[in-house]
Chains A and B, each alone.
Chain A
Amino acid sequence: MANATTDAPPAAPERARRGTARQDAQSVLLLGSVFVIATCGLIYELIAGTLASYLLGDSVTQFSTIIGAYLFSMGVGSWLSRYLGGALLKWFIRLEILVGLVGGFSAPLLFILFEYVASFRLILYALVGLTGILVGLEIPLLMRILENRFEFKDLVSRVFTFDYIGALLASLIFPLVLVPQLGLMRTSLLFGALNVVVAAVALYRFAETRPYRRSFAALMAAALLALAVTFGYAGRIQRYTETLAFQDQVIFAKSTIYQRIVLTKNQRELRLFLNGNLQFSSQDEYRYHEALVHPAMQALPNARRVLVLGGGDGLAVRELLKYPQLQQIRLVDLDAGMTELFKQNHLLTALNQRSFFNPKVQVVNGDAYQWVRQDTTRYDCLIIDFPDPANYSIGKLYSAAFYQELHRLLAPGGKLVVQSTSPYVARQSFWCIAHTLQAAGFHTIPYHCYVPSFGEWGYVLAGENGHWRPNAGPLPRGLRYVTPVTIRQMLDFPPDMAEVPTDINQLNNQALVRYFEEDWGPYVH
């Protein structure tokens, strides 16, 4: 920097010494800035890469393309730096505020914008490009500011040393400290603030900034305030939503008019939560869905039509598609937000094997109760995969009145199966569902299996008659859990899950919701 101080040139040795000391301090400060901005720059890159692989799946591709795009944009920024002239320090301060804002808000912005899936990639790469260009401007600009203070070889050596040390620090603290402690959103905001602080320090340590100090100080205060408010707000959002409630990283969250859908991910598995309740883990969902579908379906070798109520994840449908004799699978799920998510998200379509795109499958977004009352089709099998009866609205879908409607929909000899919560944790609830089906005139076969992420889980198989065998027909090839032997084992209820007397769940008593509250209460509160 040509005129680092206004009181140069050094006239007396003492002044010269003092001046050199000040200049040294300023140089150290600027090199320190290199270190900080290098750390920040890499953090933004890591955030973008992590977010992209969380949100879009396929981490190798995402990381590779994000890093490539980021580095290329940095190159563009470096090239553009030649067009910056005049008061370089002023440019530097400007730049740091801008990097702080763009980089700092990148994670919150991407999380919010992910709901607009169609243009998400465009937004992602535009943001990565912008951040890259701004970060790419930083080092060349700093080197020009420092060029008169060091010899060229020292300058290059020191700047790049600090740059790479910063990168090392960033790459270590990002996975080990920042993501687990702060999460992506707060990390990004925090490092945005650090960029602004670098600008602030430069503003106050260099006398030449005096003419514009006031206006820039106001700008920085506003930027810091915005970042801090968002940081604080992120905490409030987290309290109300999921990030703290879930042990893994939240990679998708969306409130539809019916529910809050949250997807989390760790190295091993994806987990889906609806209103905070675990719906499945990709690790062991096959156990749940095989047990839901195959005991009924293996007994219906001539089945043609199946109705799935709930199950907007398409995973039960995936199991049904293993029966080539089926001609039509109709799925009725209330929430278009849910079924759309399972049609569009790469990670999720990989899990349900694009089952919703199969021509045999019809997806209807509608209210199951209304649907059942007006549907005149007869089905060979009904798969009822509703959320647990945790409130009065859902409790209606487990009522005797609802089950009575199902007689009309069942073809002669047809079977239905109801996911029936945990017979171990919610023993009364489970048997209440079985008894309610009986009261509605069905023969019931209760069974259960072990799903590690859920614990013991229960189902009730029901039909107009009691004809059913665990080895009635062939099972599809390639099942990982259900075999004729496991089906037989599923029928056995040890004493701690054995039948207990319960009321019938009716619309006018909602006995099940009350049992469910009693049963799960001690586990939740």
Chain B
Amino acid sequence: MRVLVIGAGPAGARCAVRLAERMPGAEVTLAGAEAALPYDRVALSKLLAGDATIEDLITHPLPMLQSLGIRYRPATPIAALDRAAGEAVTARGERLPYDRLVLATGSTAIRLPFPGADLPGVVLYRDMDDVRAMLRAARSGGRAVVIGGGLLGLEAAVGLAHRGMTVTVVHAVGWPMERQLDPAAGALLTRRLGTRGIRFAMPASTTAIEGEDRARAVLLADGTRIPAELVVMAVGIRPNIALARESGLPTGRAITVDDAMRTADPAVFAIGECAEHAGRCIGLVAPALEQAEVAARAIAGEAAAWAPRADAAALKVSGTAVWSAGEIAPEDAESITLRDEAEERYRRLLLRDGRLIGAVLYGDTADAGFYLDLITTRRSVVGFRSALALGPAFVREAA
């Protein structure tokens, strides 16, 4: 059996490895658009901050892929699919035949369409090339504006500040990382990053990037002008689904898949950020890896089904651990908050009908597993509600 995996990001690489392990006779090809060996995209921030080298980021060295019999095709962007023929067509026109196809094309960072967005000095923050561009710009110090105060934007801001730049984060919401943090935790994080010299403009929206030959300043809707030699755009991602859509596969926001990660075409699977399961897309690496496992098992002929778990995001921002899981902004939930102003410890737990449905931990995430378990199992917390936020050491459940 010939299996082609398009996309050598974490999900694609994991799927290729599992396929090779499960089906010793199969011919597994892994085609990546980037020139590099498969690397840990999540760790790009370490590269930016100088905490890791490029070599440290490589997850699948060539000998390892070879020993598994995987054919690795770097710098091989795929231009089209010919599903009728069971072939993928590379940008150079090469046709790669398959019996089973796994789409792991990931997503692209969004470049907002305001004036000046294409000027030199405006970079995205998605891949190794973006990081190299940022490191070049930071070499001479100066001022940077990061548009977008999500996780990636903050990582970029911290890295650039660490590299000596004066950084301002422009964010559309009143506090950073609003998808993972509530306003209070966001405020703690803002204060903490402030001590590192990072300034915030929020809520604020960018209307243009000024400059003629290259970016010189960021202009905000309220008229503020922030001079900058480097502008990093970290405002979100868009699933890469053109390949699938143009081949006639059903798509929504991303490629529609069933529980086995199979698309409408039984020979074609989609995993990771480019897949849409039950109307939802994922954006984190852990579920993407699970989907890779499921797809590999399904292709190997085993029964396999992916069930979305509570989303849990464990992050580290500028040395501060942040973790969130489940629903973090439901309107109909009750919330319990724990705050330690001096130790920068914060917890927010969300409850509905006596059950934990979401949690945000800031500063101390040691009890994340406890809360994830409660969210996942939907166990009643009524009996120990008063101690819930204090962690498992204080919860004495009635036997």
Q: State whether these chains interact.
A: no
